[in-house]
């Protein structure tokens, strides 16, 4: 394999995955780790990636990545439902409160509705944090940790350690699926962070549109009964409405 071809394939691999470790890249391309390190340094010099301990994360322009980033792609899905849910959830926030907002597209729309409101906001989401950079009424706290570019969230031990030190009145949470009384998300590190968030909040509010119900993702997060309030759009069918109420959750349907 020519050097140019190998480096092009390496760039495509990292861009697709968002982040990777050197062992996986070495195996995927069939070359030594020393070769991968040299190629990665080339990408670092070009400003496309950043080295981490034992790995690398993609920093390049999103338009250079093969395929759309997950957050950008999903921000345009079911927009009307998500915005209705977001507005209903935003009404649960009182001025001066300390709230936790999990990364996600519906929670992003909710955060938009809170711009200009006086509060303390803790989030693991870079897109959500960027909404408040110039908002003097919001005391913004970003968890830090390892940035997972495909979703724009901070994950890993650094994020979890920071979350363990705070206390919030309400957590606003999003998930990839709700099935048979269980909540699921698509990333193990994301679930670890969300579990830590749940420990630190007095109340947990789930924001999920009707398409998430009956769906299962990679990692189980928690029981539906561990959620205090569920906010969904009115397209949620009667069977799932009953399941939510039977789990002891308050159900808010955003008309």
Given this model, what pLDDT does residue 100 score? 98
Count of all residues that appear for the chain in the document: 255
Assigned token pair, 131: 């909404």
pLDDT, tens digit, 9 for 90 and up, residues 133-177: 888 899 999 998 988 877 789 999 999 999 999 999 999 999 999
Asked if the 3-64 domain carries CATH number 3.30.70.100, the reply is no
The phi and psi torsions of 228 (rounded to 5 degrees) equal: -85, -45
Q: d(Cα 137, Cα 166) in Å, to the nearest integer?
A: 20
Q: Is the pLDDT of residue 246 over 70?
A: yes
pLDDT, tens digit, 9 for 90 and up, residues 55-72: 787 776 544 444 445 565
Given this model, what pLDDT does residue 48 score? 82
pLDDT, tens digit, 9 for 90 and up, residues 115-127: 889 999 999 998 8
CATH architecture of the domain covering 72-254: 3-Layer(aba) Sandwich (3.40)
Reported pTM: 0.72
Annotated domain spans of the chain: 3-64, 72-254
Given this model, what pLDDT does residue 61 score? 56
Cα 47 to Cα 60, 61, 64: the distances in Å are: 7, 10, 12
Q: Catalogue the E-assigned strands of 87-226.
A: 98-101, 119-123, 138-142, 146-148, 153-155, 168-173, 177-179, 182-185, 201-207, 219-223
């Amino acid at each position: 394999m020519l050097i140019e071809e190998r480096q092009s394939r390496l760039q495509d691999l990292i861009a697709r995955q968002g982040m990777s470790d050197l062992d996986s890249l070495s195996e995927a391309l069939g070359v030594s780790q020393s070769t991968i390190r040299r190629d990665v340094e080339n990408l670092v010099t070009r400003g496309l990636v950043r080295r981490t301990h034992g790995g690398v994360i993609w920093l390049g322009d999103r338009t250079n990545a093969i395929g759309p980033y997950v957050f950008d792609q999903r921000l345009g899905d079911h927009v009307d439902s998500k915005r209705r849910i977001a507005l209903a959830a935003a009404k649960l926030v009182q001025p001066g409160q300390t709230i936790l907002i999990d990364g996600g597209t519906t929670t992003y729309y909710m955060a938009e509705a809170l711009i200009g409101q006086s509060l303390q906001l803790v989030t693991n989401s870079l897109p959500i944090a960027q909404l408040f950079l110039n908002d003097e009424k919001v005391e913004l706290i970003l968890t830090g940790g390892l940035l997972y570019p495909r979703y724009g969230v901070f994950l890993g031990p650094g994020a979890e350690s920071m979350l363990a030190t705070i206390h919030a009145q309400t957590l606003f949470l999003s998930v990839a699926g709700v099935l048979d009384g269980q909540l699921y998300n698509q990333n193990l590190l994301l679930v670890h962070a969300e579990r830590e968030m749940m420990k630190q909040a007095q109340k947990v509010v789930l924001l999920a549109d009707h398409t998430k119900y009956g769906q299962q993702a990679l990692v189980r997060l928690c029981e539906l009964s561990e959620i205090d309030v569920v906010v969904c759009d009115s397209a949620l069918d009667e069977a799932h409405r009953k399941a939510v109420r039977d789990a002891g959750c308050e159900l808010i349907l955003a008309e």
